[in-house]
């Protein structure tokens, strides 16, 4: 059985940790992905014959770790997707930025465009064809060396949004090999908190899991997450 860090499971959904550098779903690389791992876990644990239904509700970039929920029924998947559209599905991230931010908290508004051929996105002007409005707000929760640690709440969910919006601000994410400074470090971006309404009981569920970064050893920083 695959070694999954399962935070919660019932007949309708399963919440797990996505490790950094694991795909959310399969791609052309053929590398192991979390969706396949969850299917295998459910199939083996409950001794289910044939194919197992697991619905992919949301994604995290390959280098990014964090909390993810998968639907175990099509009805649950539909209801969770409706929450995403209605902004009732909340993801909060912790990130480490290169440099010291000047503002303690702010809302960032940009337009992002994804190149379907390269899979790379960029910040564009408002009138750019295909550009999508992107919003997030952040709060500084601490500092580590010459870096700023922020808590980030997504208002919209665009491709590489957090990485691009902070880069546009002049503070790329530490360890971002695609949009940041070149180094051999793991990107410091983690979806540490996930909150949504249970698709059947309607109970508000909240799951929290912090990454084990050196930057988060200060208890005063952890207290603000």
DSSP at 19 = P
Cβ neighbours around 126 below 10 Å, total = 9
* Digit-coded pLDDT (tens) for 151-165: 999 999 899 999 999
Residue 68 lies in a domain: yes
Residue 208 lies in a domain: yes
The boundaries of the domain holding residue 151 are 6-223
Residues 13 and 199: their CA atoms lie apart, in Å, by 8
Determine the average pLDDT of the residues in 8-33: 94
For residue 119, count CB atoms less than 10 angstroms from its CB and return exposed for 0-12, middle for 13-18, buried for 19 or more. Answer: exposed
Residue 14 has pLDDT above 50, yes or no: yes
Cβ neighbours around 21 below 10 Å, total = 13
* Digit-coded pLDDT (tens) for 43-69: 999 998 889 999 999 999 999 999 999
Residue 157 lies in a domain: yes
What residues does 69 pair with on adjacent strands?
15
Q: What is the pTM of this model?
A: 0.94
Residue 133 lies in a domain: yes
* Digit-coded pLDDT (tens) for 203-212: 999 999 999 9
In terms of Cα–Cα distance, which of 58, 51, 91, 96 is closest to 196?
Answer: 91
Residue 1 lies in a domain: no
How many domains are contained in the chain? 1
Token code pair at residue 117:
């051929």
Residue 84 lies in a domain: yes
Average pLDDT, the chain: 95
| CATH number of the domain within which 111 lies | 3.30.2350.10
**Residue 152: predicted pLDDT:** 98
Residue 37 lies in a domain: yes
**Residue 58: predicted pLDDT:** 95
């Amino acid at each position: 059985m695959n070694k999954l860090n399962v935070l919660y499971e019932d007949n309708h959904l399963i919440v797990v940790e996505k490790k950094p550098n694991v795909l959310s779903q399969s791609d052309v690389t053929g590398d192991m992905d979390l969706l396949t791992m969850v299917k295998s876990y459910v199939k083996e644990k409950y001794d289910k014959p044939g194919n197992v239904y697991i619905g992919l509700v949301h994604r995290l970039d390959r280098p990014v770790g964090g909390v993810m929920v998968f639907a175990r029924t099509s009805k649950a998947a539909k209801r969770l997707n409706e929450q995403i559209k209605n902004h009732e599905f909340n993801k909060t991230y912790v990130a480490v930025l290169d440099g010291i931010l000047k503002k303690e908290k702010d809302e960032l508004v940009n337009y992002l465009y994804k190149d379907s051929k390269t899979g790379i996105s960029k910040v564009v002007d408002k009138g750019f064809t295909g550009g999508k409005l992107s919003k997030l707000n952040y709060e500084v929760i601490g500092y580590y060396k010459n870096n700023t640690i922020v808590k980030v709440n997504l208002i919209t969910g665009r491709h590489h949004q957090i990485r691009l919006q902070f880069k546009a601000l002049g503070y790329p994410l530490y360890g971002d090999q695609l949009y940041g400074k070149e180094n051999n470090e793991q990107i410091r971006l983690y979806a540490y908190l996930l909150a949504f309404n249970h698709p059947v009981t309607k109970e508000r569920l909240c799951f929290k899991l912090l990454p084990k970064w050196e930057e988060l050893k200060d208890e005063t920083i952890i207290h603000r997450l």
